[in-house]
Structure 1
Amino acid sequence: MADYQRLGAAPVSELAREERVRTRDGVHLATDVYLPSAGDGTRDDSPGDTILIRLPYDKNGEYTFIPLVAEYFLQHGYRVVAQDVRGKFRSEGEALLFVNEVRDGEDTLDWIVAQAWSNGRVAMWGDSYYGYTQWAAAASGHPALRAIAPRVTGTGLGEPVHRDLGTRVRAVEMGITNLYPLTHFHGSDTFLWEPDWSRRDFEAQAEAFQEWAGARSRSYDQWVPHPVTLPRFPNGSAFAGRSVPVLHTIGWWDNCAPLSWADVEEIKQFPAWDAHHYLRIEAIDHESYQFVEAEGDRVAERTEQQIRAILPRTLDPALAFFEVFVRGEGSIVDIPRVTWQLAGTAEERTEPAWPPAGSRSVTRYATVEGGLSPEQPVEARERTWMHDPEDLVPSTAPDAFSYLLYLPDEAPLGERGDVLVFTGPEQPEDVELAGPVGARVRVRSTGPIMDCFVRVLDVAPDGTAVRIARGQQQLHEARDAATLEIDLGHIGYRLRSGHRLRVHVSSSDYPEFLPQPGTGRDPWTDGVETVPNTQALIIGGSDALAIELPVVKGALA
């Protein structure tokens, strides 16, 4: 049997008192209230500004260290409200992903402004799902919500990606998707377990877990085998209503960054939101590990001392933002519209817009010899490889959410026969890349469905390689060749002199992404039977493999 670990609610922090917020349908949400010290051993319950955090990961648990976050906010004079979302830990109701967060956020805001310690001004802060709850509360249009600071999240967070990107093109499904409602949203507690990735009877393993747990996950049953998308926002979009000033933080190596960038693009279609949108881009992954970490800090289990040490870099940008938009101190013009870190350096830069002014798109083409050239090869040639579902290209990090904890060397993957490798010349000078990265590939397969993964790497003089951009798409009716335009995300990176660019192309990245069994059947529900497929990629000609890179300073070799 799989190793199932169950985590219940941790004790309430000594700094907080637990309240019960009643929602409009009578459900009570467990809510910790942190008030600043009055200096005489009591708490100051006079009216003040409040920061609200709504999360499903236990408001008192070690994973999110909310009591330490609250303590830091208290030191800056804020009241803090931390709440278990509906159905989680001490809160009543059914644990159901996403759909109740607008109403429950609105009801919680109503409750806060009715308290004696509230002056009617509220901000929200948090990562991932508790970044999503900010977008949801803002979509309610509640007038008390003055600013939000969502980090590493997106309004489209979490649901299966069974959506068309074109006539025959879809997104590739992350392996975590169907697992999430069986871990963090299976009842009130958290269950830590993983499928046996050496087997691909995923649906059977999910059923075995639910039998062990003695209950089913409603969210899982709404997604598998036929996804049902429930409405999240009142008007179809999180940005269709009243706008709120937002400090929007994205990580260069966050595996959820595509969702964040999709929100950036959607916000541009809503002028009121666009006017209040402030972008912050950091060299972090989903769990806030940094690309450049102090020695000894790249550890799986951070000590309390290490957590306290990262709070300033994590929380100070939000506090500066709230100072202007919640407290009315300082000037709006002093808040940069875009703040971004140039990965590979200690530099933090500001811009009036993203991408930076002067960023220019430069194209590099794959060559038959395995190079990257500024010249497009005239003759179209074909490179093939075998997609063997029994010998998949392995994901390089054990946990995709903590990619920078491992910061894996990607070079060894290029030694596999099912990974095509294209390497550019040695860089004669430093070059800075800042902006969107894209790939154009023409592919086909002997199988009905093909996944195509494209990775851009920085290869150091010692031969080790760091991934700096990536993207993937799924092609249906893949026996007929098609040209894919693959979004590889955004980049802010200094490629050093003596380094080289490299591109990897493959058709699996497992278990971070569910692999194609080669039969055209669903890999989660019917992926046990497998058939090898031959994949083909065009090099040269009008459909040559092309990588678009944004150069802001220097010349790309």
Structure 2
Amino acid sequence: MFKVLPKQTASMSTRDGVRLDADIYHPDADGEFPILLMRQPYGRDIASTVVYAHPTWYAAHGYIVVIQDVRGRGTSEGEFKLFTNEINDGEDTINWAANLPGSNGIVGMYGFSYQGMTQLYAAVAKLPALKTICPAMIGYDLYADWAYEGGAFCLQTNLAWAIQLATETARLRGNKTAYQALFAASRNLPVTNPEIFQQLAPLSFYHEWAAHSQPDAYWEKLSPKHHLQAVDLPMFHIGGWFDTYLRGTLHLYKDMAARNTTPQHLLVGPWTHLPWGRKVGEVDFGKKAVSPVDKMQVRWFDQFLKGIDTGLLDELPVCLFEMGSNLWRTFPNLPTPNQKSYFLSTTGLASIREDSGTLKTQNSELVTHDYLVHDPWRPVPSVGGHAAIPAGVFERSHIDCRSDVLTYTSEPLATDLHLAGDVMVEIWCSGDRPSYDLCAVLSEVHPDARVFNLTQGYVHCRDEIHRGSTKIQLQATCARIAKGNALRLSLSAACFPAYAMNSGTGSVLSSMQLMDAQTITVTVNCGDAFPSQVLLPVVSQN
């Protein structure tokens, strides 16, 4: 371990003459060192220490660590436009960082969320100096992996993040009135009156995202997916089972692993977007759930930036935390599970009695129906999962008791059940309005009747398209369901405010649309002619 010099501040100019500022942490030693670069929009003093070790820790391992404010943030000049300048600015920054005093000309990047996105954009230029990146919790396709899920607007996370960025913009501009109003809004998220945010921050990206409700050219231009097709770079991908952007992490990993010649490793912990610790919502996943990321990243950088044989390339590249057993499991690639079907069956009272709706391994010959009634006055609230704030695992029996939630529960399991991969729910249903939403939550039911969410998914339906079979892709998971516990599928027509409510014709994104919202009835069909089911990714224990 090296001693580290006091941090220094240095500046560079982009190709269009904008000054970008960075803090530099340098080992107190002679010789040349590789660069570790993080580019972020939250003020460089933070340096993503909400999930990573302080830059001094990385510098002590023999790296020059550069933490840069992106354009228009922190003390860097220019106007901040979400993601817009990160390709060119990332390329300019790597060229600059590679030539810093004491640098050996080799650069690696790390960071999560926006800091993960800047790595992807910087990689587009295919600069020889950039040898590897460690993108964590990112959106590969910004439409489907970040802003929308199943065609539904991710209201709570989008709005909260937009308010955070707008509040910082007001602070940087010295606009005290706007800052105070936005700060107040951040503590009382205006999810039922989001036009307040239009008045406070009319130029926020949020308004564009809400307006572009389909995967059009706007998203194609903005998404890393459409810029990275020729990039072949070693990547260490990091995600969390309850991170709202896990879809992006897995999407990127699968794409890169399928077509790249360079090593692609994947780590998924039981974490939310932040922090990365053992306590996730109301559940403690044990000491093994404490983040190993810092030590793993140093090992990764030693391998690819210093040329040290760490043994890393001899290990299985996919490392998944199995919730329930609370152990890390390794695989040669993402598991290809056996799909096991649990079919929905009901006496017609699945919204009233928890013993009415059942999950069975054989479909019933008897055709039955349940009716799901959504009242916009009292929508089913979001609790935990990956899309709500706070995210994570929570006891949800009080939600399942509502009469606007259908529940289908299996018998207690005779043996442990191990899941790893994508969970799919197929529901044969129809709505009485042109549009409706479906939320599916898979939970584990304990013998004492406690119910803990495991994974969930959401889809925005138009009845003329979805009439018949509607498929809901749930968040990928890895879990052991213990012998004696049961599985439960909960269905609702809202999960608010995690997702924007459906008015009966489309998303509710203003109080006027809320005023026009209709009661929606969804008929859910079960039985031989309507194989409504949960498809589980079952893997072997070993």
TM-score by length of 2: 0.85
Segments of 5+ residues of structure 2 without an aligned counterpart are: 173-181, 347-355
Q: How big is the shift at 1:202?
A: 1.5
Alignment-derived partner of residue 352 in structure 2? none
**Is the Cα contact below 8 Å between 1:292 and 1:344 reproduced in 2?**
no
Q: How big is the shift at 1:484?
A: 1.6
293, 308, 324: which one aligns with 1:344: 324
Q: How big is the shift at 1:157?
A: 4.0
Confirm whether residue 545 of structure 1 aligns to residue 532 of structure 2. Answer: yes
**Is the Cα contact below 8 Å between 1:90 and 1:188 reproduced in 2?**
no
Alignment-derived partner of residue 303 in structure 1? none
CA distance in 1, matches of 2:491, 2:413: 22
**Is the Cα contact below 8 Å between 2:416 and 2:480 reproduced in 1?**
yes
**Is the Cα contact below 8 Å between 2:266 and 2:317 reproduced in 1?**
yes
Counterpart secondary structure, 2:90: helix
CA distance in 2, matches of 1:430, 1:217: 52
Counterpart secondary structure, 2:478: strand
CA distance in 1, matches of 2:219, 2:466: 34
Q: How big is the shift at 1:247?
A: 0.6
Alignment CA distance shift 1:245-1:185 (3 Å): farther
Confirm whether residue 118 of structure 1 aligns to residue 103 of structure 2. Answer: yes
**Is the Cα contact below 8 Å between 2:344 and 2:408 reproduced in 1?**
yes
Counterpart secondary structure, 1:553: coil
Alignment-derived partner of residue 175 in structure 1? 156
Alignment-derived partner of residue 119 in structure 2? 134
Alignment CA distance shift 1:438-1:480 (3 Å): closer
Deviates most, 407-416 or 171-180: 171-180
Alignment-derived partner of residue 34 in structure 1? 25
Give me the CA root mean square deviation. Answer: 3.3
Alignment-derived partner of residue 177 in structure 2? none
**Is the Cα contact below 8 Å between 2:439 and 2:494 reproduced in 1?**
yes
Alignment CA distance shift 1:175-1:226 (3 Å): same
CA distance in 1, matches of 2:9, 2:290: 24
Alignment CA distance shift 1:459-1:236 (3 Å): closer
CA distance in 1, matches of 2:282, 2:376: 39
Q: How big is the shift at 1:99?
A: 1.6
Confirm whether residue 59 of structure 1 aligns to residue 44 of structure 2. Answer: yes
80, 92, 113: which one aligns with 1:95: 80
Alignment-derived partner of residue 19 in structure 1? 10
**Is the Cα contact below 8 Å between 1:99 and 1:232 reproduced in 2?**
no
**Is the Cα contact below 8 Å between 1:253 and 1:283 reproduced in 2?**
yes
Give the alignment of 1:91-490 within 5 angstroms.
91-157=76-142, 170-185=151-166, 187=169, 189=171, 192=183, 193-194=185-186, 200-203=192-195, 205-210=196-201, 216-226=202-212, 229=218, 232=221, 237-267=226-256, 271-272=259-260, 275-290=262-277, 313-330=292-309, 331=311, 333-355=313-335, 359-368=337-346, 369-397=356-384, 400=388, 402-404=390-392, 407-477=393-463, 481-490=467-476
Q: Deviations over 1:520-545 (max 9, x none)?
A: 36434742312211111111234322
**Is the Cα contact below 8 Å between 1:443 and 1:537 reproduced in 2?**
yes
Q: Deviations over 1:299-319 (max 9, x none)?
A: xxxxxxx9xx99962311111
Identity of aligned residues (%): 25
**Is the Cα contact below 8 Å between 1:365 and 1:374 reproduced in 2?**
yes
Partner AA of 1:15 in structure 2: P
**Is the Cα contact below 8 Å between 2:155 and 2:191 reproduced in 1?**
no
**Is the Cα contact below 8 Å between 2:152 and 2:500 reproduced in 1?**
no
Q: How big is the shift at 1:469?
A: 1.5
**Is the Cα contact below 8 Å between 1:96 and 1:185 reproduced in 2?**
no
**Is the Cα contact below 8 Å between 1:160 and 1:177 reproduced in 2?**
no
Residues paired across the two proteins, number = 512
Q: Deviations over 1:328-383 (max 9, x none)?
A: 11156324221111112342222111116xx3111100111311100012233221
Q: How big is the shift at 1:185?
A: 4.8
CA distance in 1, matches of 2:445, 2:225: 44
**Is the Cα contact below 8 Å between 1:88 and 1:188 reproduced in 2?**
no
**Is the Cα contact below 8 Å between 2:423 and 2:536 reproduced in 1?**
yes
Partner AA of 1:239 in structure 2: L
Counterpart secondary structure, 1:336: coil
CA distance in 1, matches of 2:235, 2:465: 45
CA distance in 2, matches of 1:421, 1:32: 53
Q: How big is the shift at 1:96?
A: 0.7
Counterpart secondary structure, 1:60: coil
Alignment CA distance shift 1:526-1:178 (3 Å): farther
Alignment CA distance shift 1:235-1:95 (3 Å): closer
**Is the Cα contact below 8 Å between 1:397 and 1:408 reproduced in 2?**
yes
CA distance in 2, matches of 1:491, 1:99: 32
Q: How big is the shift at 1:144?
A: 0.9
Alignment-derived partner of residue 353 in structure 2? none
Confirm whether residue 528 of structure 1 aligns to residue 514 of structure 2. Answer: yes
More helix, by proportion: 2
CA distance in 2, matches of 1:289, 1:71: 20
CA distance in 1, matches of 2:363, 2:374: 27
CA distance in 1, matches of 2:50, 2:342: 45
Alignment CA distance shift 1:319-1:153 (3 Å): same
CA distance in 2, matches of 1:52, 1:85: 12
Q: How big is the shift at 1:553?
A: 3.0
Deviates most, 545-554 or 241-250: 545-554
Q: How big is the shift at 1:15?
A: 3.3
**Is the Cα contact below 8 Å between 2:20 and 2:76 reproduced in 1?**
yes
CA distance in 2, matches of 1:462, 1:487: 29
Alignment CA distance shift 1:55-1:232 (3 Å): farther
Alignment-derived partner of residue 65 in structure 2? 80
CA distance in 1, matches of 2:458, 2:283: 33
Alignment-derived partner of residue 179 in structure 2? none
Q: How big is the shift at 1:24?
A: 0.7
Q: How big is the shift at 1:161?
A: 7.2
Alignment-derived partner of residue 8 in structure 1? none
CA distance in 2, matches of 1:34, 1:484: 53
CA distance in 2, matches of 1:174, 1:458: 26
Alignment CA distance shift 1:391-1:71 (3 Å): same
**Is the Cα contact below 8 Å between 1:514 and 1:524 reproduced in 2?**
no
Counterpart secondary structure, 2:87: helix
Alignment CA distance shift 1:177-1:514 (3 Å): same
Counterpart secondary structure, 1:194: helix
Deviates most, 436-445 or 512-521: 512-521
**Is the Cα contact below 8 Å between 2:220 and 2:226 reproduced in 1?**
no
Q: Deviations over 1:394-434 (max 9, x none)?
A: 11149835423xx3202211100111000011112222111
TM-score by length of 1: 0.83
Q: How big is the shift at 1:148?
A: 0.9
**Is the Cα contact below 8 Å between 2:111 and 2:135 reproduced in 1?**
yes
Partner AA of 1:547 in structure 2: V
Q: How big is the shift at 1:170?
A: 2.7
**Is the Cα contact below 8 Å between 1:441 and 1:538 reproduced in 2?**
yes
CA distance in 1, matches of 2:118, 2:377: 40
Partner AA of 1:385 in structure 2: L
